[in-house]
Amino acid sequence: MKIGIDVPVVPVIVFTDPKTWIATPTQEVDVFRLSGLRSKVSRLFEQYPAALGEELLDYVKEHFIACYQKLVLKRIYPKVSVLKGVVCIGCRVQMRHERKGFRCMQCGTKTMNGIYEALHDYRLLYNDWITNQEFRDFLGVESIYTASRMLSKLGIDYMGNFKNRKYVIPPNILEMASKKGN
């Protein structure tokens, strides 16, 4: 529907989860965390001071509200590289999987429960479920058997038989970490 108004449309990608680290922001579209939204909007107001007067703004707002309908959102795959797997909080690099947990190759920090945060990130970025192969790719685990053992240890639901098994990442995956107490 046309309403006959010229307004600048500025696409941005905003990560609402503060734990997401953006390794290489893309040049094509601004990518930032929620904390950066306020200053982005301020800059836009400076950049387009005369774009919309208050009256027009009200009109557009009412129009958008009238047009509102619940959309089934499709997942988008932005062309940015997001740090994968278990990330060292201090160094912001991917930690390497070892026999017992994960280790940061820069500072030597070890962690056991980074797996919950990694799966939480995976769920937000890609999908509610993960296969053994995807798990290995994302967390940098080499062995299919190790990955399978790690996944079944989590005690999360799965669908399908061994070969095509999909593990369902629950929305409360982070709370599971504290329940396990490790």
Instruction: State the DSSP string of the chain.
Output: -----------EEEE--TT--EEE--SSSEEEEGGGHHHHHHHHHHHSTTS--HHHHHHHHHHHHHH-----PPP---SSEE--SSB-TTT-SBPEE-SSSEE-TTT--EESTHHHHHHHHHHHHT-SEEEHHHHHHHHT---HHHHHHHHHHHT--EES-STT-EEE--TTHHHHHHHHT-
Number of shown-chain residues binding Zn ion (CB under 5 A): 7
Q: Which of the ranges 7-15, 45-53, 56-64, 101-109 carries the binding residues for Zn ion, by CB under 5 A?
A: 101-109
Nearer to Zn ion, 94 or 131 (CB): 94
* 92 counts as binding Zn ion under rule CB under 5 A: no
Q: Among 88, 115, 141, 177, which residue sits at the site for Zn ion (rule: CB under 5 A)?
A: 88
Q: Which of the ranges 12-20, 41-49, 100-108, 150-158 carries the binding residues for Zn ion, by CB under 5 A?
A: 100-108
- Give the integer Cα–Cα distance in Å for 85 and 157: 21
Q: Which of the ranges 23-31, 42-50, 51-59, 108-116 carries the binding residues for Zn ion, by CB under 5 A?
A: 108-116
Q: Which of the ranges 65-73, 76-84, 97-105, 127-135 carries the binding residues for Zn ion, by CB under 5 A?
A: 97-105
* 91 counts as binding Zn ion under rule CB under 5 A: yes
The least CB distance from residue 106 to Zn ion, in Å, is 5
Nearer to Zn ion, 36 or 140 (CB): 140
Sites of contact with Zn ion (CB under 5 A): 88, 90-91, 104, 106-107, 109
